[in-house]
């Protein structure tokens, strides 16, 4: 990569994306926590779970540990004793990779407490050794859902589910009385990797969208990543009436999209999470085990479908059943997870020095 491109990327990630505190904030008496989680490529899911961590721990400071940090933050990061603890963010992080390993190994050596904020766990046989060391110790917080607990069985049997990190953002509001008659449908396509049934998923969504447009609905594509935008533009070649929304930068932006919709169908995990948080009826296309981990945590396994089984007819059937969601039970589940997250946060704060 040319030097100017590298410099531009550094300035963008370190200074323009809003991930890091100011020098004045760093000089405050607040506690500072080191955050482990993916950030930097404007993936809405990553941004959402980081925003949720900031929200949960405010007014304390949550600092992502990355190579691209502002100079004043990088200087602070050299003094690891300045940090009161480690937050392992949301997303499916526990697996074969572990970045910034020396920093977090040093934090463990210093005895800093660890808080897992609804982290997803992959199967043990692929865990990086640093994950094994980290998980063996005392963990505050917990994992995303039942599948993650299952994947820890035999290695750590006292893990608890605290729900997805995004659940920290939930605020109960009444479901719009006109939800069923609203004329906007949200869709999403996108994944970091290919998956079985991708052709069925994409063609099924397009078939459903074509009928919805013909029936007078407005269809909006909400991308969660720049890669999703490419898929949206491809759909627009065949269905130009589909509106392309910008990738949300903040929870409040995605919240507005979902509050205005009568139904949502999509592939990205945190597109599905937004349906839960906003009381918007949805169909989750479960291209990965993480979707079932999320859905089963609040008793919504029935609204997930394997990509290979997706068709325009299957999506239409879910659309027609959109009034059947028991939102009172879902919202009570989200609030129960919030209480657990806050209880664990308070215990973590008490242990942090």
Domains of the chain in start order, with CATH, are: 3-169+335-351 (3.40.50), 179-320 (3.40.50.2000)
| 217 vs 220: CA distance, rounded Å | 10
pLDDT at residue 1, rounded to an integer: 56
Assess whether the previous peptide bond of 59 is cis (omega < 30° from 0).
yes
Give the helix ranges, DSSP H, for the chain: 3-11, 23-26, 44-57, 71-77, 101-109, 129-136, 146-152, 198-214, 226-238, 251-259, 269-278, 289-297, 312-320, 327-351
pTM of the model: 0.96
**Residues of the chain below pLDDT 50:** none
Query: What is the spatial distance between Cα 125 and Cα 178, in angstroms, rounded to a whole number?
Result: 49
DSSP 6: H
User: Do residues 205 and 231 make contact, with C-beta atoms less than 8 angstroms apart?
Assistant: no
**pLDDT attached to residue 350:** 96
> What would the pLDDT profile of 214-244 be if each residue is shown by its tens digit?
999 999 999 999 999 999 999 999 999 999 9
Q: What is the pLDDT of residue 11?
A: 80
Q: What is the pLDDT of residue 100?
A: 87
pLDDT at 208: 98
Taken as a whole, the chain contains a residue count of: 353
Q: Which of 267, 264, 245, 262 is nearest to 200 (CA)?
A: 267
- Confidence at residue 274, expressed as pLDDT on a 0 to 100 scale: 98
Q: What is the pLDDT of residue 177?
A: 75
> Measured between alpha carbons, how far is 267 from 164 in angstroms, rounded to an integer?
17
CA 344 to chain centre: 19
Q: How far apart are CA 244 and CA 236, in angstroms?
A: 9
pLDDT in tens, 4-32: 788 888 788 888 888 999 999 998 878 99
Per-residue model confidence (pLDDT) at position 172: 87
């Amino acid at each position: 990569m040319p030097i100017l491109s590298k410099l531009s990327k550094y300035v963008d990630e370190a200074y323009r994306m809003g991930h890091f505190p100011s020098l004045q904030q760093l000089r405050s008496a607040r506690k500072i926590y080191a955050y482990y989680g993916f950030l930097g490529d404007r993936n809405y899911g990553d941004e959402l779970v980081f925003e949720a961590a900031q929200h949960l721990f405010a007014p304390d400071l949550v600092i992502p540990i990355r190579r691209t940090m502002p100079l004043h933050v990088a200087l602070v990061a050299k003094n690891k004793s300045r940090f009161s603890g480690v937050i392992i963010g949301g997303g499916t992080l526990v697996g074969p990779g572990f970045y910034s390993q020396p920093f977090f190994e040093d934090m463990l050596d210093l005895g800093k407490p660890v808080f897992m904020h609804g982290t997803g766990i992959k199967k043990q046989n692929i865990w990086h050794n640093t994950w094994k060391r980290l998980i063996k110790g005392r963990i505050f917080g917990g994992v995303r859902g039942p599948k993650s607990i299952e994947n820890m069985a035999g290695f750590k049997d006292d893990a608890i589910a605290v729900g997805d990190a995004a659940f920290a953002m939930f605020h109960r509001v009444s479901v719009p009385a006109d939800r069923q008659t609203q004329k906007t449908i949200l869709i999403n396509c996108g994944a970091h990797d290919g998956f079985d049934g991708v052709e069925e998923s994409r063609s099924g969504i397009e078939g459903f969208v074509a009928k919805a447009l013909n029936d007078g609905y407005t269809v909006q594509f909400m991308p969660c990543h720049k890669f999703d935008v490419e898929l949206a533009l491809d759909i627009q070649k065949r269905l130009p009436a589909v509106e392309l929304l910008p990738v949300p930068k903040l929870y409040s932006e995605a919240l507005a999209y979902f509050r205005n919709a009568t139904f949502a169908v999509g592939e990205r995990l945190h597109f599905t999470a937004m349906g839960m948080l906003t009381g918007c009826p949805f169909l989750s296309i479960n291209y990965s085990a993480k979707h079932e981990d999320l859905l089963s945590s609040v008793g919504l396994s029935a609204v997930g479908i394997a990509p290979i089984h997706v068709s325009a007819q299957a999506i239409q059937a879910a659309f027609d059943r959109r009034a059947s969601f028991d939102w009172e039970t879902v919202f009570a589940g989200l609030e129960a997870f919030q209480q657990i997250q806050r209880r664990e946060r308070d215990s973590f704060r008490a242990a942090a020095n």
